[in-house]
Structure 1
Amino acid sequence: MIVREAKSTDIEQIQIVRNSVTENMLSNPNLVTDTDCYQFLFERGKGWVCEINNQIVGFSIVDLKENNIWALFLDPNHEKKGIGKQLHDIMLDWYFLQTQEKVWLGTAPNTRAEGFYKKQGWTVVGMHGKETKFEMTFEDWIN
């Protein structure tokens, strides 16, 4: 298992993972384009992937422009192996080296993802549309 920074050549496999999830599914897979992925990975922020046998099984992307976690997704066949936590931690370590601004994310209520973020120390601050909105401060992350 290798966790590394995402490359532009990873976008195709990132899209496959994004569209394989069973929670927080896109209503229309065409809503997130390869161009969107490229912009968030290389113009707005940074991303990481987890590879097993040269196959991407998870990824995370943080957006510095909106101080937002844009994505953290795993192939359902690779859940509960610690991959999500590794991707989460490397992403937040990098984010807080760039800025001390709080970061936020939204996820569907009553999902495994919501439980995951609570376990990682995120604070629920309300709703963002139909999603639960979480925030993480620099102080909370370093402690």
Structure 2
Amino acid sequence: MQIREARVADISAYMEVRFAVKENVLNNRALVTDEDNVDYLTRRGKGWVAEADGRVVGFAIADLQDHSIWALFVHPDFDQQGVGGTLHRTMLNWYFRQTSEPAWLSTAPGTRAEEFYRRRGWQETGRTNSGEVRFELTAAQWLAYGHHQSH
């Protein structure tokens, strides 16, 4: 598996991963446009893709403007292979080199994603208006959990 910075040319490949997931399903594909993706990759923040055998199998995008994790998804065929953890570590190491602002994200309750973030030191701060679990992570928490180091 290789992790590299996402490019605009990767959008269609990583969105196939987004549409393949079994949790946090995007039912309305029109809600996430190519224009949104270009904006997040080129203006708002940065993204990464994970490749295996020349195929995009996961991606992550951090938003520096909103101080959030906009996306972190792994193709179901590549679950439990370290793809998500590696993308998470790469993204947050970059994020906390850019800013000392805490990062936040939200995910559906009762999902594997919720457990993934809890195991990595994210702290629940409540619920969003739509009922998702809202998490925050500070730079100090990130360093304390040791996830800044390569594993």
TM-score (norm 2): 0.93
1:2 and 1:39 map into 2 onto residues whose CA distance is 24
Aligned to 1:2: 2
Aligned to 1:61: 61
Counting aligned pairs with the same residue, the percent is: 48
1:66 and 1:74 map into 2 onto residues whose CA distance is 23
Contiguous gaps of at least 5 residues in structure 2: 145-151
Aligned to 2:21: 21
1:9 and 1:26 map into 2 onto residues whose CA distance is 21
When the two chains are superposed, the root-mean-square deviation of aligned CA atoms in Å is 0.6
Contiguous gaps of at least 5 residues in structure 1: none
Q: How does 1:96-135 map to 2 (within 5 A)?
A: 96-129=96-129, 130-135=131-136
Aligned to 1:140: 141
1:37 and 1:141 map into 2 onto residues whose CA distance is 26
2:95 and 2:128 map into 1 onto residues whose CA distance is 21
Q: How does 1:30-41 map to 2 (within 5 A)?
A: 30-41=30-41
List structure 1 runs of 4+ shifted beyond 4 angstroms.
Answer: none
